[in-house]
């Protein structure tokens, strides 16, 4: 089969590799119908993720069709369409029993395209299938559910739920990349009073308005803290979600929060950040952190089925799966291409328009 293989920093190929096969009784094999690329894949390609060794197939977000099941798998059968979660769950360890699949001690957690072969391929081996895949309800296209593999649960669980957004709250979202935009989209489920999106790129802020932000601030040329204070009678935001992952944006989130408010950090940080406890201690501020668990996939899926949530807005570009190499170029050049999520469609991709239209820009 063909697959996108990591060959060490800066090097990738769309290579011929052996077809995957069942290894453990809890495995299934799926044909990958629709997949996408994540900012994390770009981090791996830069060499920032040393656990990912050259030769690994990348990718951790996909929709596929079950081809073969291991001896102990009971919840899916060949022919079923399934969503693969970016996080696998052994279902047996202490953390899996608490719904903290991201912290799995039994060989799960974030493994796809990280410590085992991923899903940017024609076929994939999926471990712990009974606990880690979700059957796709009749009538939904692949693209409607694809973003439940990673970005929607991430922003919902680590941002919206940890931040305890309540109706009427002023919610500040720092960063308007896919994660910040997914935070804007899922924050709206709680009817906030106002959503304020903050980013350095005007193009990203335009995106934030399309996703439902009420106010946008370019903190490259505006004073974000002053503007949030102005909007909130000098108090600050009720909830601030950090969706970038650099020291400045975490500090910004803690500066624009009101006393008694919640700062929920979503960004992955590679550098030490200063926590200004000398200013924060007296303000009753709650700070949370987290890695996505994807326990919310069934809940978010029901919202999509009922027409209450529509993540298809994230699909800015579509490519044939065979053209994954060009899709990487477009995704990596987001500043010029305007890419949010690039959708890769295999021959079995269900329901999405433009199959085979290489590099087609998705209809708005």
For ligand NAD, the binding residues (CB under 6 A) are 39-40, 154, 158, 174-180, 198-201, 204, 219, 243-246, 248-249, 266-268, 290-292
Reduced to 3 states (helix: H, G, I; strand: E, B; else coil), residue 196 is: strand
Number of residues that bind Zn ion (CB under 5 A): 9
Q: Which residues, 131 to 160, sit near Zn ion by CB under 5 A?
A: 150
Q: Which residue lies nearest ligand NAD, judged by its C-beta?
A: 177
| 119 versus 179: smaller Cβ distance to ligand NAD | 179
Q: How far is the CB of 140 from ligand NAD (least distance, A)?
A: 23
Q: Which residues, 84 to 113, sit near Zn ion by CB under 5 A?
A: 90, 93, 96, 104, 106, 108
Q: How far is the CB of 215 from ligand NAD (least distance, A)?
A: 15
Contacts of 122 (CB under 8 A, 6+ apart): 1, 2, 3, 31, 32, 321, 346
* Nearest one of 218, 273, 208 to 246, comparing CA atoms: 273
Reduced to 3 states (helix: H, G, I; strand: E, B; else coil), residue 158 is: helix
Q: How far is the CB of 203 from ligand NAD (least distance, A)?
A: 8
Residue 152 binds what, of ligand NAD, Zn ion, none (CB under 5 to 8 Å, by partner type)?
none
Phi and psi for 112 in degrees, rounded to 5? -55, 130
Residue 244 binds what, of Zn ion, ligand NAD, none (CB under 5 to 8 Å, by partner type)?
ligand NAD
Q: How far is the CB of 198 from Zn ion (least distance, A)?
A: 22
| 90 versus 208: smaller Cβ distance to ligand NAD | 208
Reduced to 3 states (helix: H, G, I; strand: E, B; else coil), residue 13 is: strand
Q: How far is the CB of 301 from ligand NAD (least distance, A)?
A: 19
Please classify residue 64 by burial: count the beta carbons closer than 10 Å to its beta carbon, then call 0-12 exposed, 13-18 middle and 19+ buried.
Answer: buried
**Which letter does DSSP use for residue 125 in this model?**
E
| Residue-wise burial string across 338-353, b where 16 or more C-beta atoms lie within 10 A, e elsewhere | ebbbbbbbbebbbebe
**Residue 362 interacts with Zn ion (CB under 5 A)?**
no
**Which ranges in 256-315 belong to alpha helices (H)?**
277-280, 297-305
Reduced to 3 states (helix: H, G, I; strand: E, B; else coil), residue 225 is: helix
| 28 versus 151: smaller Cβ distance to ligand NAD | 151
| 145 versus 320: smaller Cβ distance to ligand NAD | 145
| 235 versus 246: smaller Cβ distance to ligand NAD | 246
Count of residues in the chain:
364
Positions that interact with Zn ion (CB under 5 A): 38, 40, 90, 93, 96, 104, 106, 108, 150
């Amino acid at each position: 089969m063909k697959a996108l293989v990591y060959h060490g920093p800066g090097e990738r190929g769309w290579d011929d590799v052996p077809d995957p096969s069942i290894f453990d009784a809890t495995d299934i094999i799926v044909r990958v119908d629709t997949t996408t690329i994540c900012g994390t894949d770009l981090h791996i390609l830069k060499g920032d993720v040393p656990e990912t060794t050259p030769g690994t197939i990348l990718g951790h977000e996909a929709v596929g069709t079950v081809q073969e099941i291991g001896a102990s798998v009971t919840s899916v059968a060949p022919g079923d369409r399934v969503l693969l979660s970016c996080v696998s769950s052994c279902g047996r360890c202490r953390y899996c029993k608490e719904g903290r699949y991201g912290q799995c001690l039994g060989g799960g957690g974030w493994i796809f395209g990280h410590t085992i072969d991923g899903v940017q391929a024609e076929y994939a081996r999926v471990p712990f299938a009974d606990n880690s895949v979700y059957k796709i309800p009749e009538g939904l296209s692949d693209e409607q559910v694809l973003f439940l593999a990673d970005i929607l649960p991430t922003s919902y669980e680590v941002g919206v739920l940890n931040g305890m957004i309540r109706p009427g709250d002023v919610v500040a979202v720092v960063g308007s990349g896919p994660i910040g935009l997914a935070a804007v989209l899922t924050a709206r489920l709680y009817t906030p009073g106002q959503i304020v999106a903050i980013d350095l790129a005007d193009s990203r802020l335009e995106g934030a308005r399309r996703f439902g932000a009420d106010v946008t601030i370019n903190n490259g040329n505006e004073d974000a803290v002053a503007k949030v204070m102005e909007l909130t009678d000098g108090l600050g935001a009720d909830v601030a979600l950090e969706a970038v992952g650099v020291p400045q944006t975490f500090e910004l989130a803690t500066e624009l929060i009101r006393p008694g408010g919640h700062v929920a950090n979503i960004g992955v940080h590679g550098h030490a950040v200063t926590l200004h406890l000398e200013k924060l201690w007296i303000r009753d501020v709650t700070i949370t952190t987290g890695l996505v668990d994807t326990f919310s996939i069934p809940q978010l899926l029901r919202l999509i089925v009922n027409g209450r949530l529509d993540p298809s807005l994230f699909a800015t570009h579509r490519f044939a799966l065979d053209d994954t190499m060009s899709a990487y170029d477009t995704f990596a050049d987001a500043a010029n291409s305007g890419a949010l999520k690039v959708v890769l469609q295999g021959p079995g991709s269900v329901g999405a328009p433009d199959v085979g239209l290489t590099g087609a820009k998705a209809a708005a």
